[in-house]
A and B are shown apart, each in its own frame.
Chain A
C-alpha cells in the first residue's frame, strides 16, 4: 500500500514553507536541510495534490487483494440485557436491507444471551433472512471477551462481509474488541452507509474532530465493521416474517471469569430528548449558567425540552443526556430552536431530521444557518429579552 516519498533534490526553503503551509497536521520536519514526514501525518495526500510540483510523490504499493465474492451478507448485532432489547438494532436491520437490495446477500440478526426468543421473533418481524441465536445460561452481558469469541467465530464460519453494531456505550466497547480479534477495520459512528457492487462498504462519518466528512473504506479486510448511533437511521415497519431462526444452545466461547457483575441499579430516566417533539437547544454563546434562565419563558410557552451542545456539558451546566450531537443524542423533533449555537458538524449530524429548524445566532454565515429554515441574526442577549416581553404581553407566560 501507499506511502509518500519526498524528492530531497527538489526541496528548498521555499518548497518547505509551502508544504508546511498546506499540511493541516504539521507533519513536515525540516532539519539539517533534510525534509521528512513525521508521525502526525494522516495520509490526507494534500501535499501530493496541492504541494509544489514533484516534491511529494505518492508511491502506490501492491494493494493486498482478497476474493471479495467469497464474503457475503450483513449481520446486525442485537444488544440485549435481561429483558431489554436496544432498538438501534431494528434501525440497522432496516439499513442492512437497503444495502443488500437488488442482491442475493442475506441479512442476519446475531443475538447472544441467556434468553433470546423474544429478540429473535422481533428481528424476524423487522425483516431479517436469518436469526442466529446463541442461547446459554452462562452467557454474561459484561463478559465482552466471551461475546467476542462467539461473534468472531460466527463471522469466520459464515464468511461474513459486514457486521453492524449499534453505537451504544456497550456497542462502542464491544465492537473494537471484535475488530482487533479479527484484525479488521472498524469505523465508529457512521452517519451514512453505501455498498459498492463489489461488496465494499462505504462508511461516511465526520473526521479529524471538525467540520469535515470522510469516506472510509476497508478494501482488503473482511468482515467490515461499523458502529452507528441510535436514531441515525429509521426502523422499518414490522411485517410478516420470512426468515428462519437458528438456535445454538451448546455453550460457545471460552469462560474466563475475569469480569464479574457485583450489583446493578436501573437509573431513573430523565425525559429523553431523543423522543421530544419540541426542543430548544442552547450553545456556548451563553456566557453564564444563570443566563440560561433567559430561555425559560420560551420553554414554557412551547412546552419544550431543553438540550445543549458539548461545551455546555463540559461546563457542567446540563446532564450529559441532554447533549445533542454524535457524542450525545440524535434528535428528531418537529420544532428545534437553536440559540447561540454555530453548528459543529458533530452537532449538525445530530439534528438532520428535525422537521423545522429555527436558529438565533450573531453570524449569518454559521454552519447551522445553512440548514435552518429561519435564521434570526442577532445576539441572544438582545433577542431573548425582547422575545420574552412579547411572550409576556401576549399572555404566553404565566406570570
Chain B
C-alpha cells in the first residue's frame, strides 16, 4: 500500500499585525514550523505502516525552504519526500493549491492520501477535500481512527459535535485527520542518520501533466484578496490600571453591574 501524506510549513507565530499608519503587515519574526495538525496525519500514516507495511511518501508545496519540514518528516518515519515549488504557484488560493497538489499526487500514485484537518495559517480545512474531488476519490474529514478492513477498504471512526460514526471507505481515498487522533512521535536521531542519504526531489510546474501556467498560482485562483485591514476596534470600554487591589475592583464592578449581590 502506498500512502501519501500532505504537510505544510507555516509561520511559527500567529502574531501578525497591521501598522495602522502605513497599512504594512508586521510579522513577528520569520520563524516557521510544520503545521501542528499535520503531525497527527503523519502519525496515522506511520501507524498504518507499522501494521501493514505501507510505504509512506510525504509531499509539500511551498518555497524552497519548505524542504525543511520534509526532512523532519523523514526523521519521523516517512520513506520518501517530494517538494513542489515554483514561483508560478505564487498567490495560489485553495482551488489553485489543491489543483497543483492533485496533479503532483496523481503522478506519484497512491492508495491513500492523508492530510491534517487544517493549517494554522489558512485555517480553512478546504485543501484536502478539494484534492479528493480533483482526483475523483472519496474523502472523509476529521478522522479519529483508521484501520485496514481488507486490502480495498478502510474502516474509520469520526467524531463531530453530535455524532460518532464508523464508516467504511473504499481505496483509493483521502482522509483528513483530527487533532488528538493519536500521539505524534518526535523526529529521531537514529532516523536522522538513516535517512540522511534520501534525496528530496523538487518538482516544478514542468513536472506536472497540466503545464498550462494560467491554471496555477494567482492566475488559477478564483478568489482574490482585495484588501487587508486591521479588525475593527471599538474603544468603548474603561481601562482600570495601576490598581492597588485589582481583585477588589473586579469584585466591585461585578456588584455594581448586578452580576453579583454585594451584601
Seen from chain A, the residues whose Cβ lies within 8 Å of a Cβ on chain B are 1-3, 22, 24-27, 29, 36-44, 46, 49-50, 61, 81, 84, 142, 144-145, 148, 168-170, 172-177, 179-181, 183-189, 202-203, 206-221, 256-267, 269, 278, 301-302, 314, 316, 320-321, 326-327, 335, 344-346, 348-349, 356-358, 360, 364, 367, 369-378, 382-391, 394-396
Structural contact, A185 and B93, CB atoms closer than 8 A: yes
Q: Which residues of A have CB within 8 Å of B199?
A: none
- B105-121: CB near A (< 8 Å → 1, else 0) gives 00000000000001111
Structural contact, B159 and A267, CB atoms closer than 8 A: yes
Q: Which residues of B have CB within 8 Å of A278?
A: 259
Residue among A142, A183, A212 making CB contact with B25, cutoff 8 Å? A212
Structural contact, B161 and A46, CB atoms closer than 8 A: no
Q: Which residues of B have CB within 8 Å of A349?
A: 231
Q: Which residue of A lies closest to B32 (CB)?
A: A26
Residue among B27, B63, B245 making CB contact with A39, cutoff 8 Å? B63
Q: Which residues of B have CB within 8 Å of A184?
A: 95, 222
Residue among B224, B230, B246 making CB contact with A211, cutoff 8 Å? B230
Given the known inter-chain contacts A3-B219, A386-B248, A390-B247, please indicate yes or no for A395 contacting B263, CB distance below 8 A.
yes
Structural contact, B141 and A173, CB atoms closer than 8 A: yes
Q: Is the interface of A mostly helix, strand, loop or mixed?
A: mixed
Within B136-179, the residues touching A (CB, 8 Å) are 137-142, 155, 159-170, 173, 179
Structural contact, A217 and B263, CB atoms closer than 8 A: no
Structural contact, B166 and A215, CB atoms closer than 8 A: no
Q: Which residues of A have CB within 8 Å of B121?
A: 208-209
Structural contact, B167 and A260, CB atoms closer than 8 A: yes
Q: Which residue of B lies closest to A49 (CB)?
A: B23
Structural contact, A36 and B219, CB atoms closer than 8 A: no
Given the known inter-chain contacts A345-B231, A369-B237, A373-B237, please indicate yes or no for A396 contacting B222, CB distance below 8 A.
no
Q: Which residues of B have CB within 8 Å of A181?
A: 133
Q: Which residues of A have CB within 8 Å of B233?
A: 367, 370-371
A212 and B20 CA atoms in complex are apart in Å by 11
Residue among B27, B86, B163, B234 making CB contact with A266, cutoff 8 Å? B163
